[in-house]
Amino acid sequence: MYDEVKRPSSVDRVQCTGIDDEVDRVLASLAVQRMAYPDEVLGVLCVRKDDVGRVRERLEQSQFAGEFACQDEAFVPNMRVFVSTVHSAKGLEFRTAHVVGANACKGFRGLGM
C-alpha cells in the first residue's frame, strides 16, 4: 500500500535491558510517529501474550491513554495505536510496527537481537 520508492521501509534493531526499557523506547517513537502519520494506525506487536498486558498498562499511563486498543477490543474511531500479539496481527496493516519482546523469539536471536 505504501510507495517504497518515496518512503522505503526500514528496520531498526534496539537492544534493551527489559520489557520496561522496550516500552519506554516504543512510547518515545510513537510520540514522533503520531505527529508524522496523524491519520494512520501505529502497531505495537508483542511476541509473548503476557507482554500485551504490560504494554497496555504503560499506554494507559501515557499520553496515549484513550488513543489505543488491544487485540481483545474493537477498533475505535480515535484509535491511534493497536496493541496485539504478533500472531493476532496477521492480516492487519500498520504505518509503523514495533515488536516488543523479540529476544524471546528464536528467529530473532539469529539476527543479532
Tens-place pLDDT, residues 2-24: 778 887 888 888 888 888 999 99
Please compute the mean of the pLDDT values over residues 68-80 and round it to a whole number.
78
Q: pLDDT at position 113, please? A: 43
The reported pLDDT for the residue numbered 76 is: 67
User: Over the range 35-69, which residues count as b (16 or more CB within 10 Å of their CB) and which as e?
Assistant: eeeeeebbbbbbbeeebbebbbebbeebebeebbb
What the block records as the C-alpha cell of 7 is: 518512503
- The phi and psi torsions of 59 (rounded to 5 degrees) equal -65, -35
Residue type (1 letter), 45 = L
* Cell numbers at 40, concatenated: 494512520
**Global pTM value:** 0.84
Delineate the domains of the chain, giving CATH numbers in brackets: 19-109 (3.40.50)
